[in-house]
Structure 1
């Protein structure tokens, strides 16, 4: 006669749902799908950034461009880790229902440990790129540059701290995915998580709001000032994501981390990917102007979107002096830079004219040039 306890265990086992593949679990599928979508957006934003650099006639990447490429590299690494955690580690599934928990939980533990320093590198590279761009844009303001370098130093120190914390959290490190190791122990996961994310949130706020006081003092049209301020202030979105990750820690169940940590994994990826997109927005104007001109059927001069007074190298074409009356007698016919037989807006600053009375003015040219090659 079968034992009653055995019958009860058999009944409990029969109540468990049959094993299913990872792609049959919504909590496993949607983080992967959305991560791939945002990865595509981030790659597109960086590609447009490089294209804008070419349109601006700049010959090499600046330091903030290299930093955003590093951010994209590590963010892509986060997407790969998410996919591996889902396919090989059972992310998004209940631990009790894994097909091979002995293998899957070990894989999940290893990926979970690797995720922390990769995330730290990705989000740090994003903020460093933004800070380096600030330093370039507002180079004339010494106090602001110092503030940016201080924040940059704090961000670098934070990255070192997060990396060391992830590597030293468990001793030996293998105890994080193999709790059967004799004498192994781990620290307080909640305290380590909260301290890293709260400091990261403070740094997010500092980076997002740092340029706002300077932008408020710029002599720009109100609409333009709101536009520029809005682009930089979009960093507040990153702060919201960080707050969401801090809140989600309360939902983490230690005995079922494969299921309860899926949201945290996704927001870990969303933070740097969205940061890359927002960091690219301020420098995409040349590329967006070209794309807009394709859809509107117009050819727009890049002089409005290009800083020719720095390291750009415009080509020179000869011209008649028929523009002298418009420019107040200015005779610079040997150094005007324009596409041949084109119409559009002409920025007076690109001429580097000595007459400051015309500085910042715009001349609308509708005449055809007489060209001679030299």
Structure 2
């Protein structure tokens, strides 16, 4: 579903770029009509597919994230909530699709303003759709938070995972800015006043695609560049353990000699007080000596070294 969302988002961006370069998006309507009225006609023709592609890409982003939730949190209640949210998202898309064709009579008046026609309730319909989109986005961002903080992991790890999911808050910011823009949209100068909405309509689905793919980025990078590529916490702990072991070795080296490498040690060479290769041992098995305290020696050894008769 994320791939479908990416394709639809690319289509949305392409339509808005076409409107900017070929249909005078961002230019005041009076200037457009005075310069080339055909560009305004093209602008209106691009407006309808841009609106539908925007709604479709956002819907696919929401479906992708909700599907991911059902995989990460295989809880019956969570799955039911996700499916209910998917149903609401589908209803939202149908609403946007219908308003693109039912607000103006005849339908052709949506993109051809040269014919007789009328459009009613456009601002209200767009505003309701924007508010619905914002509410659904906020709910999707908040939904996994209680589940994340119940996971059996360290607090720092839970905060990291929650932060990854909360990047969807950027989408909520874009949605909120879009709602504020819709509330004050002046349709009488459409080619100019639509510019902020075009920016928000581009950023919202593109950020949504990135957010939907974030949980799978780490496994993908590990697959491409090897396991443990992004295991920063593990690397830090391993390096700390290794540095700790090195410290212990260095401390030991003060007593047993310097450390060389990980497993090989060199010890200080000490001169023998008695050269063992010059030692001579005598053994008397039959000699029996009795000492005090009832101690009896049955076998006696004598060690002779140069300079000593008995050691």
TM over 0.5: yes
Output the CA distance in 2 between the equivalents of 1:300 and 1:153: 38
Output the CA distance in 2 between the equivalents of 1:196 and 1:210: 21
Output the CA distance in 1 between the equivalents of 2:80 and 2:29: 50
Deviation of 1:177 (Å): 2.7
Q: After the TM superposition, which residues 59-98 of structure 1 pair with which residues of structure 2 at under 5 Å, given as runs?
A: 67-98=1-32
Matched, 1:193 2:126: yes
Moved over 3 A (4+): 287-291, 299-302
Matched, 1:129 2:129: no
Q: Name which of 185, 191, 205 aligns with 1:252.
A: 185
Structure-2 residue corresponding to 1:106: 41
Output the CA distance in 2 between the equivalents of 1:239 and 1:102: 36
Deviation of 1:110 (Å): 1.1
Output the CA distance in 2 between the equivalents of 1:170 and 1:204: 28
Matched, 1:204 2:137: yes
The alignment partner of 1:275 has SS state of: helix
Output the CA distance in 2 between the equivalents of 1:255 and 1:77: 27
The alignment partner of 1:179 has SS state of: coil
Contact 1:251 1:260 in 2 (8 A): no
**CA 1:213–1:95: 2 relative to 1, 3 Å:** same
Deviation of 1:115 (Å): 1.4
Deviates more, 1:250-259 or 1:85-94: 250-259
- Bigger radius of gyration: 2
Deviation of 1:300 (Å): 4.2
Output the CA distance in 1 between the equivalents of 2:151 and 2:83: 22
* Cα RMSD for the two superposed structures: 2.5
Q: Name which of 151, 156, 175 aligns with 2:109.
A: 175
Contact 2:101 2:110 in 1 (8 A): no
Deviation of 1:301 (Å): 5.8
The alignment partner of 1:197 has SS state of: helix
Contact 1:105 1:177 in 2 (8 A): no
Q: Which runs of 5+ in 1 are unaligned?
A: 1-66, 294-298, 305-343, 345-365, 367-374
Deviation of 1:101 (Å): 3.3
Deviation of 1:289 (Å): 4.0
Deviation of 1:237 (Å): 1.2
Output the CA distance in 1 between the equivalents of 2:145 and 2:219: 24
Output the CA distance in 1 between the equivalents of 2:70 and 2:220: 23
Output the CA distance in 1 between the equivalents of 2:76 and 2:183: 43
Structure-2 residue corresponding to 1:161: 95
Structure-2 residue corresponding to 1:20: none
Deviation of 1:255 (Å): 2.5
Give the total of aligned pairs.
Answer: 235
Q: Residues 248-302 of structure 1, C-alpha deviation per residue, up to 9 Å, x if partnerless?
A: 12453322211111111111011000011111111111233467x6xxxxx6468
Structure-1 residue corresponding to 2:76: 142
Contact 2:41 2:113 in 1 (8 A): no
Contact 1:95 1:101 in 2 (8 A): no
Deviation of 1:92 (Å): 1.1
TM-score (norm 1): 0.59
Higher relative CO (Cα under 8 Å, sequence separation at least 6) belongs to 1
Q: Which runs of 5+ in 2 are unaligned?
A: 232-237, 239-261, 263-311
Structure-2 residue corresponding to 1:266: 199
Deviation of 1:172 (Å): 1.5
Q: Residues 139-177 of structure 1, C-alpha deviation per residue, up to 9 Å, x if partnerless?
A: 1x1111111110011111111111111121212121123
The alignment partner of 2:25 has SS state of: coil
The alignment partner of 1:91 has SS state of: coil
